[in-house]
Amino acid sequence: MQTDIFKELFPLFDAASVETLEWLLAEAVERDYPAGRAVLMEDAWGNAVYFILSGWLKVRFLRNQEATTLAVLGNGDFFGEMAILDESPRSTDVVAFTPVRVLSIPAQKFIQFLFKDPQLHHRMLQLMVRRLRKTNQRIQLRQQVPAIRVATILTGLADAYGIKNDAGIDIFNLPVQDIADLTEVSPEDTVKILEKLKDKSWIAINPKRQVLSITNQKQMAQLAVFR
């Protein structure tokens, strides 16, 4: 992959020199996964860092035979960077919602990459702080009423990964159970909230295209918190 395309897709690394990025990408491998396939198994964390070129994925927490969705990731994001510094066993995996293309980089290569440029250390620290802040916000979100929780999660995904068009912002139409997991709202209440949002014309859902559109961004933003 060309360095200018990589920087455009992943602005976190736009401060890296062309030479450093060329060195990093020399061993990168593009991989395609179909919908429903595990991209990263629970015993494989720490082996590589994965950059999402296209598609939607979810991070799941596994316990016995049950799985709970912890996060949803889209194009321009990446995962696995934290695990390379932590050798403890993982009880999570990453599964593709849609067909996905990722760029995988070996763990040791990525660690060496960080040491090549002091600015990259600072950028990674900023990323960790940002993700910690999101975790804290998720905890605070539990205190809100269910409708606010759902609106906050949907607008957050739209802000991070949405595709703007004349009708609004499109995101992947997450299954109800996954929205329920993310918001800690029961599936039954989640369905009711989504129906109300559709009735108000604040969102629109196209099941065939697997798209949820936020059609009234102003109202959804007012309902959400942590924008």
Read off the pLDDT band of 116 (50, 70, 90).
confident
Distance between CA 14 and CA 197 in Å, rounded? 38
The H or E element spanning position 163 is strand 163-165
**Per residue in 37-89, pLDDT tens?**
999 987 778 889 999 999 999 999 988 888 999 999 999 999 988 787 666 55
- The hierarchical CATH code for the domain 3-139 is 2.60.120.10
CA 25 to chain centre: 22
Domain boundaries, the chain: 3-139, 145-223
For the segment 144-170, the average pLDDT, to the nearest whole number, is: 95
Token pair recorded at residue 87:
């050798």
For the segment 185-196, the average pLDDT, to the nearest whole number, is: 98
- pLDDT at position 130 is 85
Evaluate if residue 191 carries a pLDDT over 90: yes
- pLDDT at position 58 is 97
Evaluate if residue 161 carries a pLDDT over 90: yes
Token pair recorded at residue 14:
């736009």
- pLDDT at position 87 is 61
Read off the pLDDT band of 12 (50, 70, 90).
confident
Weakest-pLDDT range from 17-26, 69-78, 118-127, 199-208: 118-127
Evaluate if residue 201 carries a pLDDT over 90: yes
Sequence-distant (≥ 6) Cβ neighbours of residue 99 within 8 angstroms? 32, 33, 34, 35, 54, 55
Q: Look-up: residue for tokens 């059609």?
A: 215
- The hierarchical CATH code for the domain 145-223 is 1.10.10.10
Choice between 190 and 1, residue whose per-residue pLDDT is larger: 190
